[in-house]
């Protein structure tokens, strides 16, 4: 942990890295197919994908990473090129790629855990929990200089996570049913994995490091990637990583949401630096109330303003977040164009209009193919 502290002390503010996860599908049936080893092997022969394609637990999933970028524009450009190459590679190998938070009907018992030491260890250690996690998400890394500062940013970001989840909600289907939730992915992942969901506050780096060292000493973790919190200091990169969001249905939505996530991290850091944040971060119980509202209702619901002791429409909370991040977005050149309805809202509207779950998913896969490449 002393070495990790040094990584953060040497980090550069507001660098950016994007990670997007995709389901690997049979293009005719849209069932999940265990083709990751083949697609990954082929990606190693593509200079654009060789260092950016990665596995994520199951053999019917693949991730692409932008790598470190100095600006959001640079990250968008890198990721756009990687998307194009990945979707072209998938087409060449006779598979399609999906981009929802869950697969609408795939049986988790039929999915294979990829054959790497890390994921085979998870399979052994976590049992059903690892097997049940057939989910896809969007992660954003933002460089934060200073170990104590990174912990403070994570502490204060916690209360922003529910609205970020609501904005991203894109997983209403599971087991060929409408779950009634906006993000069933969150229920599957953050409610079952250990060291997951919204973490408690740490206050400073020493408290954080002491906790991690204890987990290591008693054998709870053997590597930092076993810290699955929805916001976390990333030990290798010197970044604050935001991990709360569902995978997005289209390329432009993924890019816009990533920009907002970056802006929230950066604005929090700036506000801490300039003394605009004081007192104590919001408590776990309060955040949990808003997290459930995001899971259940997404952008159709309301959040609780605990200072005013009243409900606020999720749309208003989003508008306030966009206004709040305006200064840092202007400084960093981040443009955000979110649609009027997000993925969960559009899917539920289509379902209520009479479309079947299969039809909705097929359209989603077509939209992904048209916009991610």
Alpha-carbon span 126 to 193, nearest angstrom: 8
Alpha-carbon span 123 to 129, nearest angstrom: 8
CATH assignment of the domain containing 118: 3.30.590.20
Q: Give the domain range for residue 27.
A: 2-371
What are the CA-CA distances from residue 11 to residues 18, 144, 191, 237, 251 (Å)?
A: 17, 6, 32, 8, 29
The pTM is what?
A: 0.97
Beta bridge partners of 194: none
Beta bridge partners of 20: 64, 138
Average pLDDT over residues 362-372: 98
Alpha-carbon span 152 to 145, nearest angstrom: 11
Predicted confidence band of residue 18 (pLDDT cuts 50, 70, 90): very high
Average pLDDT over residues 29-41: 97
In the chain, how many domains are there? 1
Q: What is the pLDDT of residue 131?
A: 87
Q: What is the pLDDT of residue 157?
A: 98
Q: What is the pLDDT of residue 191?
A: 86
Q: Which residues of 354-369 are buried (b: 16+ CB within 10 A; e: fewer)?
A: eeebeebbbebbebbb
Alpha-carbon span 354 to 365, nearest angstrom: 19
pLDDT greater than 90 at residue 118: no
Instruction: Please give the mean pLDDT across all residues of the chain.
Output: 96
Residues 6 or more apart whose CB falls under 8 angstroms from that of 210 comprise: none
Predicted confidence band of residue 121 (pLDDT cuts 50, 70, 90): confident
Alpha-carbon span 373 to 83, nearest angstrom: 6
Residue pLDDT, tens place only, 131-184: 888 999 999 999 999 999 999 999 999 999 999 999 999 999 999 999 999 999
Q: What is the pLDDT of residue 130?
A: 87
Lowest mean pLDDT among 52-56, 128-132, 166-170, 186-190: 128-132
pLDDT greater than 90 at residue 343: yes
Alpha-carbon span 302 to 311, nearest angstrom: 6
In the chain, % of residues over pLDDT 90: 91
Average pLDDT over residues 86-93: 98
The residue whose two tokens read 């018992």 is 109
Lowest mean pLDDT among 109-123, 291-305, 347-361: 109-123
Comparison of pLDDT for 65 and 119, the residue scoring more: 65
* Beta strand residue intervals within 66-131, DSSP E: 96-98
Residue pLDDT, tens place only, 251-288: 999 999 999 999 999 999 999 999 999 899 999 999 99
DSSP of 224-283: GGG-EESEEEETTTTEEEEEEEEPPSSHHHHHHHHHHHHHHHHHHHHHHHTT---S-PPP
Q: What is the pLDDT of residue 117?
A: 86
Average pLDDT over residues 296-310: 97
CB 268 within 8 A of CB 156: yes
Predicted confidence band of residue 322 (pLDDT cuts 50, 70, 90): very high
CB 56 within 8 A of CB 122: no
């Amino acid at each position: 942990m002393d070495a990790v502290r040094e990584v953060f002390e040497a980090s550069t503010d507001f660098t950016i890295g994007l990670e997007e996860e995709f389901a690997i599908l049979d293009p005719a049936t849209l069932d999940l197919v265990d083709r990751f080893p083949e697609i990954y092997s082929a990606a190693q022969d593509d200079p654009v994908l060789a260092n950016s394609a990665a596995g994520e637990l199951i053999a019917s999933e693949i991730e692409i990473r932008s790598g470190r970028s100095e600006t959001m524009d640079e990250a968008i450009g890198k990721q756009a090129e990687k998307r194009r190459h990945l979707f072209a590679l998938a087409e060449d190998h006779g598979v399609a790629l999906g981009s929802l938070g869950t697969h609408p009907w795939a049986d988790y018992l039929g999915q294979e855990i990829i054959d790497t030491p890390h994921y085979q260890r998870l399979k052994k250690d976590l049992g059903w929990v690892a097997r049940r996690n057939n989910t896809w998400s969007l992660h954003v890394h933002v460089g934060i200089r200073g170990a104590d500062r990174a912990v403070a940013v994570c502490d204060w970001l916690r209360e922003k996570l529910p609205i970020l989840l609501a904005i991203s909600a894109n997983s209403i289907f599971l087991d060929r049913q409408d779950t009634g939730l906006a993000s069933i992915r969150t229920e599957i992942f953050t409610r079952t994995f250990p060291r997951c969901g919204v973490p408690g506050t740490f206050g400073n780096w020493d408290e954080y490091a002491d906790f991690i060292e204890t987990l290591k000493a008693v054998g709870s973790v053997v590597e930092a990637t076993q810290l699955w919190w929805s916001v976390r200091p990333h030990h290798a990169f010197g970044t604050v990583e935001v991990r709360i969001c569902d995978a997005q249905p289209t390329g432009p939505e993924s890019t816009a949401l990533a920009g907002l996530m970056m802006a929230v991290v950066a604005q929090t850091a700036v506000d801490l630096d300039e003394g605009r944040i004081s007192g104590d971060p919001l408590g776990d119980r309060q955040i949990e109330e808003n997290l459930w509202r995001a899971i259940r209702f997404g952008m159709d619901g309301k959040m609780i303003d605990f200072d005013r002791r009243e409900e606020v429409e999720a749309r208003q909370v989003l508008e306030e977040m966009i206004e709040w991040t305006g200064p840092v977005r202007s400084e960093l050149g981040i443009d955000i164009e979110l649609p009027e309805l997000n993925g969960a809202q559009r899917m539920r509207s289509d379902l209520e209009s009479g479309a079947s779950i299969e039809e909705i998913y097929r359209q989603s896969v077509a939209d992904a193919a048209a916009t991610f490449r």
